């Protein structure tokens, strides 16, 4: 069985040669363990950070060891209470076709209740990231204007839809006309901006947000965010969720200092990771599931087939080749 390891730490945009496929002998399970077969692998921009050395909120990946991310796996064999052959589990797992687990950090998921892949998306870390970032930090009020960058990405699309459910005017920023059209026609955004064809982001945001920006859910950072910052209202809340525009930077990214804007308008900027809200996952998942069942949340996925295509799927994130959640189906 095959595993995908980190071959070298990427410099700039990751390359296929930063990954390697290694064959390993299949391990045997002991009492209290189970054997898992990978079903779906979630590839996410934040993994880029773990490929670098240095202190972060989670340990960096080690060279010549398997990469890990959110995955759905099927139980092949179990000597672990509560897990039986044929069950599906969700959690952080290694990029291995088959692996042994003691069940730590894994949740059983119900393939009858929702599509398995949705446990990596709307009902998984993606949905929870959107939910807690927007509601706990952004605290949007009906009638306010919410701007989302990376709006056609996995988290962004859900953020915008939840903001609409809360009665806000929602403006998305994405990288193609196709994405921008989808945001308005399928996801119900009030307006959307193609940053690749907008010459002046500050002006484009001003036109799309005649009452200014109250909440900004930022997945990208960089010049797109500079344009949004020029339009924030007094007491605006900026949710700093991701900075995909900087993840491949090879020097410290520079930009306009934000402090004068924060002071002038009493603005809040808050970085977060979804696990900060772990205690509240139990209240959020049923709410997200309810919205999904009621058709109030539309989930978009880009499904790539084949374990061997996992590294390329990850690399494609940085060119925005995904619409919604990027998932590898094994």
Residues 22-41 vs a copy of itself: string with x where CB under 8 A? --------------------
Binding flag, residue 98, a copy of itself (CB under 8 A): no
- DSSP, residue by residue, 81-133: TT--TT-EEEEEEESBSEEEE--TT-EEE-TTTS-GGGGTTTTSHHHHHHHHI
Binding flag, residue 150, a copy of itself (CB under 8 A): no
**Min CB(49)–a copy of itself separation in Å:** 8
Determine the Cα angle at 104 with ends 102 and 109, to 5°. 100
Out of 272, 280, 287, 329, the only residue in the binding site for a copy of itself (CB under 8 A) is 272
Out of 167, 256, 286, 306, the only residue in the binding site for a copy of itself (CB under 8 A) is 256
Contact range with a copy of itself by CB under 8 A, out of 9-17, 201-209, 239-247, 306-314? 239-247
In angstroms, the CA 97 to CA 120 distance is 17
Out of 265, 302, 309, 312, the only residue in the binding site for a copy of itself (CB under 8 A) is 265
Of 82 and 210, nearer to a copy of itself (C-beta) is: 210
Contact 124, 281 (CB under 8 A): no
Tell me whether strands 232-240 and 107-109 are parallel, antiparallel or unpaired.
unpaired
- Count of residues near a copy of itself by CB under 8 A: 36
Binding flag, residue 248, a copy of itself (CB under 8 A): no
Q: Up-side HSE of residue 212: CA atoms within 13 Å toward CB?
A: 12
Contact range with a copy of itself by CB under 8 A, out of 114-122, 262-270, 287-295, 309-317? 262-270
Residues 189-218 vs a copy of itself: string with x where CB under 8 A? -----------------------------x
Binding flag, residue 243, a copy of itself (CB under 8 A): yes
Within 8 A by CB and 6+ apart from 242, the residues are: 45, 46, 150, 155, 218, 219, 220, 221
Binding flag, residue 250, a copy of itself (CB under 8 A): no
Q: Residue 324: which region, alpha, beta or left (left: phi > 0; alpha: psi -120 to 50)?
A: left
In angstroms, the CA 161 to CA 62 distance is 37
Contact range with a copy of itself by CB under 8 A, out of 161-169, 200-208, 267-275, 321-329? 267-275
Contact 226, 255 (CB under 8 A): yes
Q: Residue 249: which region, alpha, beta or left (left: phi > 0; alpha: psi -120 to 50)?
A: beta
**Min CB(29)–a copy of itself separation in Å:** 36
Binding flag, residue 100, a copy of itself (CB under 8 A): no
In angstroms, the CA 79 to CA 82 distance is 9
Interacting residues with a copy of itself (CB under 8 A): 49, 56-57, 218, 221-222, 225, 234, 240-243, 246, 252-273, 276
């Amino acid at each position: 069985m095959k595993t995908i390891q980190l071959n070298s730490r990427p410099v700039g945009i990751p390359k296929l040669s930063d990954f390697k496929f290694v064959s390993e002998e299949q391990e045997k399970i002991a009492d209290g363990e189970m054997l898992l077969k990978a079903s779906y692998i979630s590839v996410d921009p934040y993994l880029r950070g773990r490929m670098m050395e240095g202190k972060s909120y989670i340990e960096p990946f080690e060279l010549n060891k398997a990469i890990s991310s959110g995955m759905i796996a099927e139980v092949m064999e179990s000597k672990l209470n509560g897990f039986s052959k044929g069950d599906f589990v969700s959690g952080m797992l290694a990029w291995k076709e088959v692996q042994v687990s003691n069940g730590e950090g894994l949740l059983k998921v119900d393939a009858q209740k929702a599509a398995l892949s949705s446990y990596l998306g709307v009902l998984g870390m993606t949905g929870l990231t959107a939910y807690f970032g927007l509601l706990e930090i952004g605290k949007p009020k009906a009638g306010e204007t919410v701007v989302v960058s990376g709006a056609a990405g996995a988290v962004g699309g859900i953020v915008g839809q939840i903001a609409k459910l809360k009665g806000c005017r929602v403006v998305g920023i994405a990288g193609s006309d196709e994405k921008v059209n989808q945001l308005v026609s399928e996801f119900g955004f009030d307006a959307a901006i193609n940053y690749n064809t907008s010459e002046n982001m500050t002006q484009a945001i001003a036109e799309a947000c005649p009452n200014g920006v109250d909440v900004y859910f930022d997945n990208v950072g960089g010049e797109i965010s500079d344009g949004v910052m020029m339009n924030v209202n007094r007491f605006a809340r900026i949710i700093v969720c991701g900075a995909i525009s900087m993840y491949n930077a090879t020097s410290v990214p520079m930009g306009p200092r934000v402090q004068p804007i924060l002071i002038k308008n009493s603005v809040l900027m808050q970085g977060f990771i979804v696990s900060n809200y772990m205690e509240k996952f139990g209240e959020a998942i049923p709410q997200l599931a309810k919205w999904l069942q009621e058709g109030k949340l539309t989930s978009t996925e880009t499904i790539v087939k084949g374990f061997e295509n996992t590294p390329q799927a990850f690399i494609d994130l940085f060119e925005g080749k995904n619409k919604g959640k990027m998932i590898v189906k094994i």
